[in-house]
Structure 1
Amino acid sequence: MAPPVTRRPVGHHHGDLRNSLLRASLELVGERGPHGFTLAEASRRAGVSVAAPYKHFADRDALLAELATQGYREQRNRFAAAVKGIEDPADQLASFAAAYVRFAAEEPALFDVTFNAGLDRSRFAEPAAAGDEVARLLLPVARQFASDPDAAFDLLLRIAAAAHGLAVFLRQGLFGVGIAALSDTEEKAARTARAILRQDAGS
């Protein structure tokens, strides 16, 4: 008797195929980083043929660009929620810094795609546009501490960079692990944001 034939799942319509590939790729990013897998591996993980991705994505970078766009949109949603209802702009920027750390901890694969995929910005406009949306959300807050738009962007960049570094340290285990370490790092990020604001005010 011939052995039973194992078949891949079938029935993906176009939207399901695209989303299945994105989910599978995000899982692989979480396991191996944004450069540690191929489209063929993503196809196998999603249970589709190796030719399937090319119906939606020209290559792996095009797929990663879609994930990076999702990453920026998730950040914008989180940061908007973090500053909503807070009147004091210093409190808003401190809350943004804490939310930045939490995003990195709770969505590590999206964080890695967004910042470590090394995508060609001249080829992929969507991630850059989504990133600009994040800046447009927060620049009016930073503008309340700065004399001009360039200075506001520089201030926001320094706060984000500090939060980014703390988030990376947390992920590397330098601050411990678990909920307590995350909460402590969020507080560090908020305190650092306030320190940057005080430093600027005193200069």
Structure 2
Amino acid sequence: MLAERGLDGFSLSALARHLGVSTAAPYRHFADRDALIDALCVEGYEEFGAALDRAARSTDDPRARLDALGVAYLRFAAEHRAVFTVMFANRGDAVTEAGRPTFDPLVQAILAAQAADVLPPATDPRVLARTLWATLHGLAVLGGQGGLAKLGLDDAPEALVASAFSLATR
């Protein structure tokens, strides 16, 4: 429903009708609509973090690890578009705390890439991570909204990541 209607069109009563349960049923599990959305975001961050962790463990090569993380980021965004969009909206503290650990695999990959001289070693790894994260997020959002395709700039996640990260790596 979230994917079909967006956040503004999502309600607990509509969800109940869609599921064929009483309109009171969702309230047995969630205090209100925001509590359900926050729970979806927390679950989304758990899945996102797991995808990033798998990508980070997929190789010992520092450059390949960065690429794997980037591809995992873009794939998750494409496969979970509605939840991905809401995850990064301004939600409550529980959502913010659930999202924090998803930044760590990229920071760790950057530290390894700096040690291997793939990325500039003198740059603060969190600054590099913020920049690469923002680049990935921009590609994910623009791709999801059709902005890249409109300009003929859309490509497979591997190619998008390779071209974007080539600007930062040595």
Scaled by the length of structure 2, what TM-score is found?
0.82
Q: How do 1:38-117 and structure 2 match up within 5 A?
A: 38-116=11-89
Contact 1:83–1:95 at 8 Å: present in 2 too?
A: yes
State, as a whole percentage, how many aligned pairs show the same letter. 36
The 3-state SS of whatever aligns with 1:196 is: coil
- Which residue does 1:169 correspond to in 2? 142
Tell me if 1:142 matches 2:115.
no
TM-fit CA distance, 1:163: 1.0
Q: Which runs of 4+ in 1 moved over 4 A?
A: none
Give the number of the structure whose alpha-carbon radius of gyration is greater.
1
**Structure 1's 32 and 186: CA in aligned 2 closer, same or farther, altered over 3 A?**
farther
Q: Deviations over 1:55-84 (max 9, x none)?
A: 111111110111001111111121122222
Contact 2:41–2:83 at 8 Å: present in 1 too?
A: yes
Partner Cα separation in structure 2 for residue 186 and residue 61 of structure 1: 35
**Structure 1's 72 and 143: CA in aligned 2 closer, same or farther, altered over 3 A?**
same
**Structure 1's 71 and 91: CA in aligned 2 closer, same or farther, altered over 3 A?**
same
**Structure 1's 55 and 196: CA in aligned 2 closer, same or farther, altered over 3 A?**
same
TM-fit CA distance, 1:182: 5.2
- Which residue does 1:194 correspond to in 2? 166
Contact 2:56–2:109 at 8 Å: present in 1 too?
A: no
Equivalent of residue 98 in structure 2, options 130, 138, 147: 130
Aligned length: 160
TM-fit CA distance, 1:147: 5.2
Q: Deviations over 1:90-114 (max 9, x none)?
A: 2211221121111111111221221
The 3-state SS of whatever aligns with 1:159 is: helix
Contact 2:55–2:69 at 8 Å: present in 1 too?
A: yes
**Structure 1's 174 and 38: CA in aligned 2 closer, same or farther, altered over 3 A?**
same
TM-fit CA distance, 1:133: 2.2
Once the two structures are overlaid, the 10-residue window that deviates more, 130-139 or 162-171, is: 130-139
**RMSD in angstroms over aligned alpha carbons?**
2.2
**Structure 1's 79 and 51: CA in aligned 2 closer, same or farther, altered over 3 A?**
same
Partner Cα separation in structure 2 for residue 160 and residue 38 of structure 1: 31
Q: Deviations over 1:134-163 (max 9, x none)?
A: 123332222233558xx2222112111111
Q: Deviations over 1:5-61 (max 9, x none)?
A: xxxxxxxxxxxxxxxxxxxxxxx2101222322111111112211111121111111
